[in-house]
């Protein structure tokens, strides 16, 4: 009985150490993203997926959702397929969803968005300036911008509430 009790305590200790480590890794990025809420997003020089530079691809005077993603990212593919399907059903306005790939080849990004049937505007953050401003530490990262270009919310990773949040923000 004593060995079983001790093994349980060790397992709990290991769990709490791992939890503390994960929080120690993630809390600073959550905090920095939280501190961006209410700040206006500056114009960034992003490349369209055809290689042409665009000063600010998102619309002014309308809320938009920016998706920082990578073509090789499995969670990005999961989230974007859910968003694509919601847009196809008319639940989300596809013209207010902007994909921003992190430093990948524009031709690869164009081919991937076409193959996966993403109906969204697609850009490449070649310099990393947009990702740096929004404190993108992992993909997918979703940034919701208000109509006045202020940051409303930033989230990283797969979210079961993403479609609801996008519907609430964009409609």
Residue 7 has pLDDT above 70, yes or no: no
User: Which CATH code, of 3.40.50.300, 3.40.30.10, 3.90.700.10, 3.30.70.270, is assigned to 37-170?
Assistant: 3.40.30.10
Q: In terms of DSSP bridges, do strands 121-124 and 141-145 run parallel, antiparallel, or are they unpaired?
A: unpaired
Read off the pLDDT of each residue in 143-168 and give the average, rounded to a whole number: 90
Read off the pLDDT of each residue in 135-149 and give the average, rounded to a whole number: 90
Residue 113 has pLDDT above 80, yes or no: yes
Among 29, 148, 162, smallest CA distance to 83 is for 162
Read off the pLDDT of each residue in 137-151 and give the average, rounded to a whole number: 91
pLDDT tens digits, residue range 33-92?
Answer: 666 677 778 788 888 877 778 776 566 688 999 999 999 999 999 999 999 999 999 999
Q: What is the reported pLDDT for 59?
A: 64
Residue 1 has pLDDT above 50, yes or no: no
Token duo for residue 114: 């076409």
Residue 105 has pLDDT above 50, yes or no: yes
Q: How many CB atoms lie within 10 A of CB 96?
A: 20
- CA 40, CA 16: separation in Å to the nearest integer? 38
Mean pLDDT of the chain: 84
- CB-based burial label for 153 (10 Å; 0-12, 13-18, 19+): middle
Read off the pLDDT of each residue in 131-159 and give the average, rounded to a whole number: 90
- CA 57, CA 98: separation in Å to the nearest integer? 8
- CA 44, CA 49: separation in Å to the nearest integer? 15
Q: What are the residue ranges spanned by the domains of the chain?
A: 1-36, 37-170
Token duo for residue 77: 């593919």
């Amino acid at each position: 009985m004593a060995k079983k009790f001790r093994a349980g305590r060790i397992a709990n200790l290991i769990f709490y150490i791992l939890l503390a480590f994960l929080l120690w890794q993630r809390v600073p990025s959550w905090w920095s993203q939280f501190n961006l809420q209410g700040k206006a997003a500056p114009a960034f020089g992003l490349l369209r997926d055809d290689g042409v530079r665009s000063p600010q691809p998102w619309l002014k005077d309308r809320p938009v959702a920016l998706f920082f993603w990578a073509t090789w990212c499995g969670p990005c593919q999961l989230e974007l397929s859910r968003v694509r399907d919601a847009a196809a059903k008319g639940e989300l306005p596809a013209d207010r969803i902007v994909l921003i790939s992190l430093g990948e080849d524009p031709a690869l990004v164009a081919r991937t968005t076409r193959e996966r049937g993403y109906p969204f505007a697609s850009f490449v953050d070649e310099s990393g300036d947009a990702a740096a401003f929004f404190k993108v530490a992992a993909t997918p990262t979703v940034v919701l911008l208000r109509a006045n270009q202020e940051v409303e919310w930033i989230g990283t990773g797969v979210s079961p509430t993403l479609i609801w949040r996008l519907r609430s923000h964009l409609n």
